[in-house]
Amino acid sequence: MQHPYSVGLCLGGLLAAAMGSAAAAPSGDEILAHAGASAGLTSYSVPVHFDVHMHKPIGIKAGADGIAYFKAPAKAAIAITHVPGPLGGFFKGSYTLDMVPQTWPAKYSVTSVAQDAQGAYELQAAPKNDPSVDHVVFNVTADYQPASAHWFYKDGSSIALALQNQVVQGFRLPQSETITVSMPKYSLDATATYGEYSVNTPISDSVFSP
């Protein structure tokens, strides 16, 4: 028969191990930081082709082209370079974006974390500085790959983004994205396909002025 003192030591050891595992679990902000981490990445530019299906205010299917830019730590923008036909009346010029995973840790604070049976994370987050955003739901794989994001705005609008990633010169960057936009005045679905990246080259701050 095992001595009660030994049983107590075993139970104490198991409890300490469990507490240690819980203490070692990453916080929501740490998970988001892992998903957006690209140590050594200072900038990139990349051509992007969009296949767009607009549903509202008119039904249009068309292609569009642009150049996406990123500059560390948290600047991102896309400059629209070509939009044919009626779609050009809705999209032109440059837009600053949160839709690059490298910008997320600087712009959002995670308020809750859920984990599924496969270890993937669902992060509920609040914006740090954008009063138009109510909340965001980020989905991150068990090995910290950014998988999707869903923005919910205070006016009832939403933008959903799903990512397919690739490794470019050692950095994990978008290869393609599916985008769903629902706003009071228009709605659309789009697929974005990324071209050849130019990594860690100088980019003027003027690119990020909307």
pLDDT digits (tens, 9 = 90+) for 112-147: 999 999 999 999 999 999 999 999 999 999 999 999
The answer to whether residue 187 scores a pLDDT higher than 60 is: yes
DSSP symbol at 27 = P
pLDDT confidence of residue 3: 54
Evaluate whether 80 touches 68 at the Cβ level (below 8 Å): no
Of 110, 113, 52, 122, give the one whose Cα is nearest residue 85: 52
pLDDT confidence of residue 98: 84
**For residue 70, what are the β-bridge partners?**
44, 76
Q: CA-CA distance, 73 to 51, in Å (whole number)?
A: 29
Mean pLDDT (the chain, rounded): 87
pLDDT confidence of residue 210: 65
Confidence at 99, pLDDT banded by 50, 70, 90: confident
pLDDT confidence of residue 186: 86
Query: 40-208 has which CATH code?
Result: 2.50.20.10
Domain boundaries of the chain, sorted by first residue: 40-208
**133 or 87, greater pLDDT:** 133
For the chain, report the end-to-end CA distance as a whole number of angstroms: 75
pLDDT digits (tens, 9 = 90+) for 19-66: 544 556 799 999 999 999 888 999 999 999 999 999 999 898 989 999
Confidence at 11, pLDDT banded by 50, 70, 90: low
Q: CA-CA distance, 136 to 159, in Å (whole number)?
A: 10
